[in-house]
Every structure is written in C-alpha cells, then in structure tokens.
Chains A and B, each alone.
Chain A
C-alpha cells in the first residue's frame, strides 16, 4: 500500500505551505490583511501537519507532529526589511509573486488531499476519509483566499 508514502509527501507539503504562509506574512507586515490572514491560515496547515502525523502511524510512517516552522536568520532579516519597505509600491509587486506562490502550493496540497480521500474510500477507512474531507475543504479555502487576494492586488500593483 502506498498511502503512507502519499501521507509523507503531504506532511512535507503542508509544512512547506505553513512555512510559505508565515514567510509571506512576515515579508508583508505592512500589508495588514496579508500579515494577519497569512498567520491565521498557516495555523490551519500546522494543525493539518499534526493530524497527518497522528494518522500516519497506521500506514507505517513515523512523522513529526510539530511543525517545521522555526524562523531562520534569513526570515528574521526579511521581517526587519519588510517593516521598512512598506512605503514602496514595488513591495506590492513582490506581494503578487508571493500570493501566486501560496496559491500554487495550496493547490498542490489540495491535490494531495484528494488523492488521500480517494484512497481512504477505496479501503473504507472512515477516520482517514473524515480527515481528508475536512482538511481538503480547509485547503481549498486557503487556495481561494490566495487567489482572491491575488486578483485584488493585481488590479493595483500591476497598473501603477
């Protein structure tokens, strides 16, 4: 059975999504909605990481329930810069790229959850199906947020 392998990949991707959301939040502290929502939505992925780890044991994978979100020195430097760069419209262009990154990563995670959900139905694993259904819905909301924000920012950042 390959479900363990998929969960391991998903565990990695959710961690990456959480890290990306936190990085984007930190990088755009002057953009308050991105800052707050980025952190809020990173929490969702952190929770997913924990829940994946909890279920992965049944599929032969030992995964770390703690998120891999320790800020690196680079992250801290980025935070310092972001607070001082808020007065330039160039930062909005960076934001467009960053939201695109969040959207693509969330879309990847969404696909992972779809795969897990399909497999859970195939083996009639209620716990895994419930987890996949619930998390997939939340991942979709993360992607939808990034997409909506991207659309909004594009109408300003790309025409200035």
Chain B
C-alpha cells in the first residue's frame, strides 16, 4: 500500500495478533514529493500534536526545512504507525501565512511592531489593572496544545506571580470531564489504564468514543486484535454509524442526552445477574449501597423508553460487560460533551469498580483526551487546578506548592474553586475581567454560542492578547498578537492519554521573529518583575530542560511523579509512562494495581463535587465518607436535558470532528491532502429525516437553533433518526469575512447553547434542539464529504474516499 492512499485507506494494512500477544510493528513514513530517504539531513524525535494518541515519530529535515515524517518503531504507543494527520499535517507549519512579527492594534487596525513594543503594551496594561482592581481583573485562557514546560511556567506565572484564579485551557471543552470523573471516583486525576490493555482485553467497550477517527492508531491496534486469534467483543455506544459501530458486537445508539439512564441500566443488569465482585467492592470501595438503590429503578425495559434503544440490545450489552474476563472501557466526547457528562463518565468507572476490573492487564479504564497535550494542561495546573494534582481545598497541599515555588501560601489563590473557562468568559462579559491572554486556541470558533462569544471578545473595554501561530478568528479581535513558534520549532515534552511522556525536539527554526511560548512567558515574568519571597526571580528557568527539571521537583511525591524522568532518558529511548520514580525507573504501566488509590483525605486531589449541583464536597464530609482512601462509587439519577425538541425544533443537534481535521482547522486546512479530503462543512441527517424534511444528498440545507443558523450541504447517512450532526472545524478565517459569518453561518457553534456540566464545567455540545430545511437543490452529485468514516453515505459500502 502506498502512503499516498492513507487519506482513503485511513488505517492501512492489518497486522493481526492474538490475545496476550505483542502488537507487531509497522513503520509508516511519508516524505515530500521528490525527496528520498538518502536526501534527509537528519531525523528529529517528536510525537503527534494533532490528536491525543501520542504517536511517536521522527521529523525528516533537509536544508533547514521539514520534508517528512517516519513513525518510531520502538515506541510503546504506535510501534511505528502513523495516522493521516501525522503523515500530512506537518506541512502546515511551513505555510507562508504564519505570523512572523508581533502586532498591536492602532486606530482600530492590527499593525506590525517590535517585541519590545508588544510586550510593553501587555505589561503596562497588566500593571494598570493590578493597581486598579487587583488579580481578579486578569485571566488566562490557554490550550491543550502547548508543551508541559510551557504550561508549568504559565501556571507559576498566573497562580504564583499574578495571583489570579482565572486560569483555564480549552481542555475545558475536551477533557475536563475525564479529569473530573477520575477525581470523583479515585480521588485524583490520572489515567488508570494503558493502551496495552487492548492486547489483553476480551471485551472492549467504547462509550461515545469514535476512536477510529479521534485516535486512528489506537483503532489500528483494536482492528489488529479483531483480525487475530481470540478477538475481543466490541461494545459501541454512539448515535452515529462510526467505524467502531460497524465493527461492534453490540451497537447502542441512544437518544442524545440519555447516557446516565443507559449506564444505570447496564449497572442494574450487572447487579441483578450477580456479576459484582463483592469481596473486591467491600475491600476497596465506598458508596455501593447507594448505587444499588439508585440503579434498581433502571431496568432495561424502563430505560429502553428513555434512550429509545431496544431492551434486548441493552441486555446484550450488559451481558458483554458483565461476563467479560478482562474489560477495557474507553470514554470520550459522546459522554463528555453531552448532558450529565460527569455523572455518565463516573458510571463507567463504577462498572469497573463493581467488577473489580482495574489495574490488571486488560482491565483498564481510559477516560480519553481530545487534544495532544491536554494531560499536561491538567497536571501542570494550566486548567486552573493546582500544579501536581494538589488539592486547592487542602491547606497542606497549598503550603507544599508554596514551598516548591518559594512564595507564601496565601499568595496562591485558593479561596474558591479555580474559575473555569465558561465562567472566565462570563466575567469578561460582565466587565470584571478586563485583560484576557489567549494562547494557542480559538474561542471565537470553538466556544458555544458564537454570536455571544464574538460580542464578548470584541468589547472595547477588554484588553485581549492572543498568542498563536496563525491569525485566527480570535487573533483578529486582539489588541496585541504575539507570534509563537510551532511544534517542530521548539523543544519540550508532552503526555498522551495513557500517561506516556514524549520528548519533542526542535527540528527547524521558527519563521521570522516568532518565539516559543516558553520564551514569551519567561519574558513576561521578567518584564513584570515577578519575584519569590526572597526577592529572587519567580521563574528560575529559561530553557525547556530547566523548566522540565523544575517540574520534576514539583511533581515529586504526587500521583503524576516525574522525578525519575529526564531529557536524556527520553532521548535514549522513546515514550515513558508516569509515574516514573526511583522505585519505578521505567515508568508505570497501570495505576491502582491491587486497588491502592490516591483517595485518602490527606492525599487526594479533590474531595469531589455534587454531580448534579456541582457544589464542592467539604473536607469534613469527605473524611467521614472515605477515611481510608478507597475508590468512591457515586450514583446519579437520570435527568432530562435542558433543551428538548419541540414543534419548531424537532431534531437534536450534535457536533463533532472528522479524522482529517483538528480543532478549528488552523493547521489541517493548510495541509493540502487533509484540506482536500474534507474541504467544506456538511450536515448529516438520517434517511428518515431527509424524507420528512424533503432533503436529498448534496442539497444545501439550513440548520437552525434558538441561537442562530448554519448552511451546509446535506449528507444522508445511517445516523440515528432524529439526530443531526455538524462538524465543528469550520470557522471563517478562510472566508471573505475573516472572523465572523457573512450572510450565513458556517461554524457549528453558531448553534450550540451556553450550558455546561455542573461538576466538570464542560460545555454541552450535543443536545441542542434544531430544525432543518432545504435552501437549494443540489445538482445531483454527492456532498463534498468524506466517504470513509462515520459520515459514509447511506447507500454506499464503498471504501473509496474523498470528495468528488
């Protein structure tokens, strides 16, 4: 197979293996046209930054430019394999429209300036506001795409220097529920499972996780198990006909917003059939009785009506998870971005706790991430939490962090929970946050309810700093734009969804005057004169390796302990899973072996929250509930979604991604193969709804909710009737208007509601009530939509890809 076919043949050739066997290697490589291997000057170690799987590869460099990529055969994550975005996405950073000089707004226009001018403006405004109002006027909104060293520096600058509690990342939109669900069940963040659990599982359950598109290489691993001896059974919960659904032993397509009811029915059956490991539950958990009582009300017959899924299918699914010898569960946005997100994700944890299936080969939980470095946003505290999974409501933890940073504990804001992204935007809206520094993300397209978001970000009274590699929609609204170095142009580490830390080395120079995010933050701290309690500079490093070494100390003794890791170790080998310590010098494959959790009141990262109201649990209450640090089984009742279909809006809108794009397409649209594969927004409707609303494949349709409208070409697919899907990648930077819609909306978030999960604060993108109507007939040709994946047309069994 040629690599050039990997747009259409997304997962490549099979390399089957049997249960318990070693996943065979397969090295994927792609070099630019005309470049042969012997033309390459050097190969530079890195890993994927266009999804969360953490595929390790080397960048090929020739004459100071990137000319290709090759998977790292010796890496535990991918064994040499790469997905389409890894193979083709690197081209974007060499795009001619990169930001190369800082910009400031003068007379309403962004004009080029020097770094001194730009940073002076940033520092001057920060100082003014600190004098006038204090730290509550300043907010930071970062991403899931910087490096560990940069997040740790940002957390120190924001929490320890500026002393604001308004710090979050766009990881709030993708991974906040994973973190919260882990804290609720196990007392602390930290992925329990490992990708190697795929090698050992006899049942793999994917809850709202279209792994075939979100992590293609992980799906290759599952496909290779399916193709080998003793294959696993697959359970898929997803309203769309994803490749996972098509490969599944049992596929459940519940009505959007009903995940908790469905999970409760599975737990009901596991309990009713006597499949609970009672001894394990008794020894390692608290809260079982409450769960038993709650789920007793959720028989498959009752839930069948709520979810609109046949009761027999629910029973079949319960049979798979209840009889599994080694169950691996994965969870992603179908749960995290839907109604009752944390409550639903926690029920997956409960399933494993009931069955005692955690911390052993094949018995894993993977609460997934959406972005490549989201795990680092969480552990370093750039999502607002305290660095090193420390507990903001535990005075001893605050004091310990203050020791590491050499500041007074009271200087670290911890009176309340960290301000989450949606609340930061609310404070910007009410005018109490007047300085917002956005790094590496694009809220003008990725946040819900874009008309509101644009009106918030374009206020005159807001000083908006945007640090990015391209002039995104958000950057166009900024007062100061700081040009950043991209992946491949700077050195640092980052961590994937199964705790594997990779080193990513600088391969080429950044364009023009662009600087790494680390350099920019260190410069800001220096210009602000941020100091520790001895009058020394607060940020004591300027190189990535020194920042990493500081982080090793900060993480020492915490669940995410990096003390045993070093750049040299990562250079000599490849990815290593944290915790990595003197006791576990090669890293740790699975957390919680033997049911030993980080949940004791003195150690845990969080005392938890009320899953329904979001109110934090008080320390005394937690001590009474869980004095010995066991896993916490938390029950939740199903509640209907806030916005239900009605006569005017009879359908339910869900948004999501395609395998060819990432986030708001700032990079993937600049890689020709990826852009050509999915060039324009589309809307998926079922054959049933298409008939009801007079739509045919290729027609132009309007999708409308109470917030706005979007026009898109119609793809008639096997999606669940009553559900409409829009990809969220398409904004306005490549349209005439630049940062906002012209006559009609294109961004899915024109339609989404401002509403979030009370516990994780993750916005809800998957339950908006909408209508669909035809705007214009198509010309009979199919919509320009990929045919390869979840959006395959209803009639086609074809694997031919790409638009016409």
Contacts and interface: CB of A to CB of B under 8 A. Distances in A.
Given A41-B613, A147-B615, A148-B615, A30 B429 contact: yes
B415 A155 contact: yes
Contacts of B416: 151-152, 155
Contact of A86 (B165, B415, B429): B429
Nearest to B133: A160
B136 A159 contact: yes
Contacts of A41: 613
B422 A32 contact: yes
B758 A37 contact: yes
Contact of B133 (A39, A40, A147, A159): A159
A92 interface: yes
Interface in A71-106: 86-89, 91-92
A141 interface: yes
A89 B133 CA distance: 13
Interface in A114-158: 141-142, 144-145, 147-149, 151-152, 155-157
Contacts of B134: 159
Contact of B430 (A36, A89, A144, A152): A89
A160 B432 contact: yes
B571 interface: no
Contact of B432 (A32, A142, A148, A156): A156
Nearest to A143: B615
A33 B756 contact: yes
A39 B641 CA distance: 12
Contact of A156 (B427, B613, B616): B427
A141 B613 contact: yes
B564 interface: no
Contacts of A88: 430-431
B421 to A, nearest CB: 12
A144 B618 CA distance: 10
B615 A86 contact: no
Contacts, number: 75
Given A33-B423, A37-B758, A155-B416, A141 B136 contact: no
Contacts of A51: none
A31 interface: yes
Interface in B132-166: 133-134, 136-137, 165
A88 B431 CA distance: 6
Nearest to B430: A89
Nearest to B420: A33
B415 A92 contact: no
A142 B613 CA distance: 8
Given A32-B755, A145-B614, A155 B165 contact: yes
Range of interface residues on chain B?
A: 20 to 34
B417 A157 contact: no
A141 B615 contact: yes
Given A32-B754, A156-B427, A145 B432 contact: no
B133 A31 contact: no
Interface in B414-473: 415-417, 419, 422-423, 426-427, 429-432
Interface string B512-547: 000000000000000000000000000000000000
Residue of A149, A157, A160 most packed against chain B (CB within 10 A): A160
Contact of A87 (B431, B639, B754): B431
Contacts of A39: 642
Nearest to B761: A33
Nearest to A151: B416
Residue of A32, A41, A89, A151 most packed against chain B (CB within 10 A): A32
Interface string A23-35: 0000000111100
Contact of B136 (A87, A147, A160): A160
A40 B614 CA distance: 12
A145 B415 contact: no
Contacts of A30: 426, 429-430
Contact of B756 (A32, A144, A145): A32
Nearest to A91: B430
B727 to A, nearest CB: 25
B610 interface: yes
B616 A148 contact: yes
Nearest to A158: B136
Given A37-B613, A144-B610, A152 B417 contact: yes
Given A87-B430, A88-B431, A151 B613 contact: no
B549 interface: no
Contact of A144 (B415, B615, B754): B615
B612 interface: yes
Contacts of A157: 432
Shortest 7 CB-CB contacts between residues of A and residues of B: A148-B615, A145-B613, A160-B432, A145-B615, A144-B615, A89-B432, A152-B416
Interface of A: 30-33, 36-37, 39-41, 86-89, 91-92, 141-142, 144-145, 147-149, 151-152, 155-157, 159-160
12 contacts: A30-B430, A32-B426, A36-B755, A40-B612, A86-B430, A89-B431, A141-B615, A142-B613, A144-B613, A145-B613, A147-B615, A159-B134
Given A92-B432, A159-B136, 15 more contacts: A33-B422, A33-B758, A36-B642, A40-B612, A40-B639, A41-B613, A86-B429, A141-B615, A144-B610, A147-B615, A148-B615, A149-B615, A152-B416, A155-B136, A159-B133
